[in-house]
Amino acid sequence: MSGLYAKKIFDLTGMVAVVTGGGTGIGLMISQGLAANGAKVYITGRRKEVLDQVANAWKEESGSIISLPMDATDKESILTARNEIAAKEGKLHILVNNAGQVGPVSTFLGDPSAPERKDAASLGQALFDNETFDAWGDLYRINTFSIFFVTNAFLGLLSQGSKELSSEGFTSSVINTTSISGITKLAQRHFCYNSAKSAASHLTKMLSTEYALKGIQVRVNAIAPGVYESEMTASNLSGEEVVNRVGNGIQPVPSKRAGTAEEMAGTAVYLASRAGCYTNGQEIIIDGGYLAVNP
């Protein structure tokens, strides 16, 4: 029965992880959670100084956090990082595609008195004028396209990670950070962000299915967070009013608070560890009940 102890089934000792956008917000929560449970975690992003600060600050007894600059929207940068991991580790067990941005926002959508909402023509023209094809393309590039290119660049190393631990029934894991914004039918003032996250959700399922049908022992799942502290939301979500303003729903968040680092990290550790090895092609929603009360 000792194999059922939490310290055994959630243990990531000896495993290698890459977390894109791992220096701030949700990515940092996940990076620290993986490292705290024994993993060697490479955090990537475009701001080297942010990555270095996080890596230098990690002083826990277990695991490690290593800075690895990488632009998840640039193929050459992705391959450079992949080759560095290949040279240093020769394998990968966990890939977290977390890099993301908000993109264009139409604030008047949330203001019933805004002149842009006085009639259908005004609303349509305002949405047309306020956003651009380029802005939409830029956001899809980071929130959706990067998942496809980063995952496939690291797929060989992930497969090698599965082979290394195959005798234990372990399979390497890809975890995509999606969002409840890609599931709710509300635009939440940003049509582009929500539709890009929805695309990321479906891409998760397609990658999982195609790899499984082709006999590739790499699982692909997603975490769809609700309101959590990040650079995209706010650095302090201690008040219920602030949480609901960020959630921008018809109904308030039932939990009356933002999600915690423990809840985010715990979900990621489950998917990445032996405990989650029978989970594939799924999207786990952690939103304090937001989607239970909003369409």
pLDDT category at 229 given cuts 50, 70, 90 is confident
Q: Looking at the predicted structure, is the pLDDT value of residue 285 above 60?
A: yes
Q: Looking at the predicted structure, is the pLDDT value of residue 72 above 70?
A: yes
Q: Give residue limits of the domains in the chain.
A: 6-292
pLDDT category at 240 given cuts 50, 70, 90 is confident
Q: Looking at the predicted structure, is the pLDDT value of residue 160 above 90?
A: yes
Per-residue pLDDT, 35: 97
Per-residue pLDDT, 59: 83
What's phi and psi for 17, nearest 5 deg? -130, 150
Q: Looking at the predicted structure, is the pLDDT value of residue 3 above 90?
A: no
CATH number belonging to the domain at 6-292, selected among 3.30.2020.30, 3.40.630.30, 3.50.40.10, 3.40.50.720? 3.40.50.720
Classify residue 134 as exposed, middle or buried by CB count within 10 Å of its CB (0-12, 13-18, 19+): exposed
Segment 176-193 mean pLDDT: 97
Task: Please list the alpha-helical segments (H only) found in the chain.
Answer: 6-9, 25-36, 48-57, 75-88, 120-130, 133-140, 146-164, 191-213, 240-247, 261-272, 290-293
Per-residue pLDDT, 118: 97
Q: Are 122 and 130 in contact (CB under 8 A)?
A: no
Q: Looking at the predicted structure, is the pLDDT value of residue 235 above 60?
A: no
Per-residue pLDDT, 98: 98
**DSSP annotation string for 166-179:** GGGT--EEEEEE--
